[in-house]
Chain A
Amino acid sequence: MIGKRKRHTHVVSSSTTSEDDEATATTTNDSSSHDIFRKFFEAQFQPLEAPEARITCAQGSNDEHDTDEYEESEPESEWTGVSEDGHNEVEVVEHHDVSALAKESTDKRARKAFMTAKPPSFSVKPAPVKSSPSKDEDDGDDAANLKNDLALQRLLKESHLLESSSDLAPTGKNRLKALDLRMQSLGAKTSLYSQNMPSSHRRGIKAKAEKKDDKRRREARENGIILEKPVPKAKPSSGRRERGVGGPSIGKFAGGTLNLSKRDLSAIQGPRRSSKGKTRGQGKTRGRR
């Protein structure tokens, strides 16, 4: 019975690796004559330790059972001998830290964010992963194309308005300006912004805007906020504005007639020689001369 047990354990240990299985098989073939002798011997006396069992023990199976057997076989080790050296290889086990390899990719970005000259802002979110919008089927494609086309055209036309604001849908003043542009492109005669109004109104509007800006700047200065530099104002031209060539040098030519205003007339006539002496200053002295 004990002999059977031996065989059993031998089979189990060899089944762990296929290589071992083959190896043990060859050894049994080689030592078939040994086997016959051993069987005979075991039938006569007590069961012997198989040389194979010894090898499996040397291969390092940690089964307690096997080691016990090894110790059992110890006294007969001289007899069995060590014939197969190839099975005494040392098993090498390498442990890799998987997490260490995985973090390498994120490491660089985090390093870039942290190891700068600036104090790290701890609330930095990881860069959003751009999710590509899922493509629709052909049904909606045409409509979408048209829509995109329109949006692109508008963007091209109105891109100069978008300098300050980053988003594509303009808001506030920019929206109104964009709307104005669209109306003009659709055939509006004049822009919304070139209204005809009395000059006093226009001057009032300008003055108000100026006042507003002035206040904003003053308050900023008082609070120590630095604003952008004021845009240099266009200087009101001091002299007469350049007229076209061939126009009348005096008066206003309209409807085939040259109209002279009172001022023009007085300019032509020169300083009046007043007999009453009511004029003062230079005119008077001239008059006396």
Chain B
Amino acid sequence: MATSQPPLRFTGHKNFVYRLVFATLTGRTVHISQIRPSSPTNPGLAPHEISFLRLLEAVTNGSQLEISYTGTIVVYKPGLITGSGAGAGSGGVIRHELPAGCNRGVSYYLLPLCLLAPFSKAPIKVLFTGPGVITSSTPTGDMSVDSVRTAILPLYNQFGIFNNIELRILRRSNPGHNGRGGGGEVQLVFGHQVRLPKTLHMMNPGRIKKIRGVAYAVGVSASNNARMIETARGVLNPLVPDTYVFSDVSSAPLVPAPEKSNPSAKKKIGLGFGLSLVAESSTGCLFSADVASPPSGGQAPEDIGKQCAYQLLETISKGGCVAPAAAATMLGLMTMGSEDVGRLQVGRDVIADEGVIQLARDLTKFGAPGWGLREAAGENERGDVVISVVGRGIGNVGRKVA
């Protein structure tokens, strides 16, 4: 993997994860500078970013990291994605502990990890644990673990990646005090590695045929779930009769909180409730919405349910075959596909999203050919856009060698 190419230079902390993921997939060294340089209190890398770097280090072999003294500059030289092969922890499961100060949901790690996993040499098995695992959706904009499982992972099926993929939610947790920390536990098993993902053509959004969802209550009364479901169904049922929202109630996780007098003290953390909704269209497109109670509390479950239902409707109304939350995953996989043109119809609002545009720019920098954009054919009253993505044809380097 030794590259004589000069490192790609990026600035800023935005799109940090996807830059690192594509660096790993393409094998290019990246140099990211000016990471929060002007923040007076927390300059440099945030705890969740550091944690993600550690995760990358764990699933790859031979990657090198250099972080500047202030943490505002990172140089990352990727290695081979080995996954959890022989000698990786007990039973091949990589145990990744998230720090207590983490304010991002665990989906922040799951989404990029899933993007890496199909190109790994061995199956990827990672157990996320520790006092920073938030399984619910967070105020920082991460989706819940349920949405990852029900709205993102099924998308891999369309790329021919479907075997032995599991996301076990061992313990749930909402964000803790001030939105920091949680005590959840999640295990990802991604056991289907491919040489190249299939070329995708998704041009027909279809019509929504069913809605499923999960309402979760952690350490609070189960009636919250019933109330959320009631209001959400009140909004959605007239539109889609096939609506089921399942309820999941769990007790609050206990995390150790040692005091001077009582070193073995524990405290409850991550109380709250939330709702995750997934709509599926007749052609297999998935749209998801996520709302959870804010860490400060003070919001009625009815509000959450209604908000979530409306959010789902908004996501669907953006049109296209891909929800904004899944766009990076889909486009990333298409870029990593074989040297063939894949097409994807997206809503105008989805592609106009800041993150997607940044993703396009970053991908070009990594050497991917630019996207072709054109208006969708047929009756297209919503102004959808078809993105044509040419794959890079690199695929799974580990597979090629082996």
Are A122 and B248 closer than 8 Å at their CB atoms?
no
B328 within 8 A of A: no
Instruction: Name the residue on B nearest A107 (C-beta).
Output: B244
Are B166 and A117 closer than 8 Å at their CB atoms?
yes
A residues within 8 A CB of B292? none
A120-B154, A224-B195 known; A114 vs B212 contact (CB < 8 Å):
yes
Q: How far is the CA of A118 from the CA of B248 in the complex (A)?
A: 16
B residues within 8 A CB of A110? 244, 246
User: Which residue of A118, A122, A223 is within 8 Å of B210 (Cβ)?
Assistant: A122
Are A115 and B154 closer than 8 Å at their CB atoms?
no
Instruction: Render B128-160 as a binary contact track against A, CB cut-off 8 A, 1 for contact.
Output: 000000000000000000000110011011000
Are B153 and A119 closer than 8 Å at their CB atoms?
yes
A residues within 8 A CB of B194? 224
Are B246 and A119 closer than 8 Å at their CB atoms?
no
Nearest Cβ on chain A to B301's Cβ, whole angstroms: 18
In residues 105-143 of chain A, which contact B (Cβ within 8 Å)?
Answer: 107, 110-111, 114-115, 117-123
A122-B154, A224-B399, A224-B402 known; A117 vs B167 contact (CB < 8 Å):
yes
A residues within 8 A CB of B214? 114-115
Q: How far is the CA of A117 from the CA of B244 in the complex (A)?
A: 18
A residues within 8 A CB of B402? 224
Nearest Cβ on chain A to B113's Cβ, whole angstroms: 15
A119-B150, A120-B154 known; A111 vs B399 contact (CB < 8 Å):
no
B residues within 8 A CB of A123? 284
A119-B150, A120-B150, A224-B396 known; A114 vs B168 contact (CB < 8 Å):
no
A residues within 8 A CB of B284? 122-123
Are A224 and B193 closer than 8 Å at their CB atoms?
yes
Instruction: Render B272-286 as a binary contact track against A, CB cut-off 8 A, 1 for contact.
Output: 000000001000101
A residues within 8 A CB of B167? 117-119
A residues within 8 A CB of B212? 114, 120
Instruction: Render B156-181 as a binary contact track against A, CB cut-off 8 A, 1 for contact.
Output: 11000000011111000000000000
Nearest Cβ on chain A to B88's Cβ, whole angstroms: 19
| Interface size, A (range) | 10 to 19
Are A111 and B246 closer than 8 Å at their CB atoms?
yes
A residues within 8 A CB of B166? 117-118
A117-B167, A120-B150, A120-B212 known; A223 vs B248 contact (CB < 8 Å):
no
Are A114 and B246 closer than 8 Å at their CB atoms?
yes
Instruction: Render A86-121 as a binary contact track against B, CB cut-off 8 A, 1 for contact.
Output: 000000000000000000000100110011011111
A residues within 8 A CB of B193? 224
User: Which residue of A115, A121, A223 is within 8 Å of B195 (Cβ)?
Assistant: A223
Q: How far is the CA of A115 from the CA of B145 in the complex (A)?
A: 12
A residues within 8 A CB of B150? 114, 119-120
Instruction: Render B207-220 as a binary contact track against A, CB cut-off 8 A, 1 for contact.
Output: 00010101000000
In residues 248-300 of chain B, which contact A (Cβ within 8 Å)?
Answer: 248, 280, 284, 286
Are A115 and B399 closer than 8 Å at their CB atoms?
no
B residues within 8 A CB of A114? 150, 212, 214, 244, 246
B residues within 8 A CB of A122? 154, 210, 280, 284, 286
Nearest Cβ on chain A to B268's Cβ, whole angstroms: 24
Are A119 and B149 closer than 8 Å at their CB atoms?
yes
Nearest Cβ on chain B to A87's Cβ, whole angstroms: 38
Nearest Cβ on chain A to B227's Cβ, whole angstroms: 14
B residues within 8 A CB of A115? 214, 246, 248
Q: How far is the CA of A117 from the CA of B248 in the complex (A)?
A: 13
Nearest Cβ on chain A to B397's Cβ, whole angstroms: 11
Instruction: Name the residue on B nearest A121 (C-beta).
Output: B154
Chain A CB within 10 A, most for which of B149, B210, B286 = B149
Are B168 and A119 closer than 8 Å at their CB atoms?
no
Q: How far is the CA of A224 from the CA of B166 in the complex (A)?
A: 22
Nearest Cβ on chain A to B336's Cβ, whole angstroms: 15
Instruction: Name the residue on A nearest B164 (C-beta).
Output: A118
User: Which residue of B165, B246, B280 is within 8 Å of A118 (Cβ)?
Assistant: B165
Instruction: Name the residue on B nearest A115 (C-beta).
Output: B246
Q: How far is the CA of A121 from the CA of B212 in the complex (A)?
A: 12
Instruction: Name the residue on A nearest B153 (C-beta).
Output: A119
Q: How far is the CA of A115 from the CA of B250 in the complex (A)?
A: 14
Instruction: Render B199-213 as a binary contact track against A, CB cut-off 8 A, 1 for contact.
Output: 000000000001010
Q: How far is the CA of A81 from the CA of B259 in the complex (A)?
A: 75
A residues within 8 A CB of B165? 118-119
Q: How far is the CA of A118 from the CA of B166 in the complex (A)?
A: 4
Q: How far is the CA of A121 from the CA of B156 in the complex (A)?
A: 11
B residues within 8 A CB of A111? 246
Q: How far is the CA of A148 from the CA of B154 in the complex (A)?
A: 44
Q: How far is the CA of A122 from the CA of B248 in the complex (A)?
A: 20
Q: How far is the CA of A121 from the CA of B194 in the complex (A)?
A: 20
Q: How far is the CA of A26 from the CA of B210 in the complex (A)?
A: 61
Instruction: Name the residue on A nearest B195 (C-beta).
Output: A224
B residues within 8 A CB of A224? 193-195, 396, 399, 402
Q: How far is the CA of A128 from the CA of B156 in the complex (A)?
A: 27
8 extra interface residue pairs, beta carbon distance < 8 Å, beyond A110-B244, A120-B149, A224-B402: A111-B246, A114-B150, A118-B167, A119-B156, A119-B165, A122-B210, A122-B284, A223-B195
Q: Report the 3 A-B pairs with minimum CB-CB distance, sorted nearest first.
A: A119-B153, A117-B168, A224-B399
- 8 residue pairs of the A-B complex, CB under 8 angstroms, read A107-B244, A114-B246, A117-B167, A119-B156, A120-B149, A122-B210, A122-B284, A123-B284
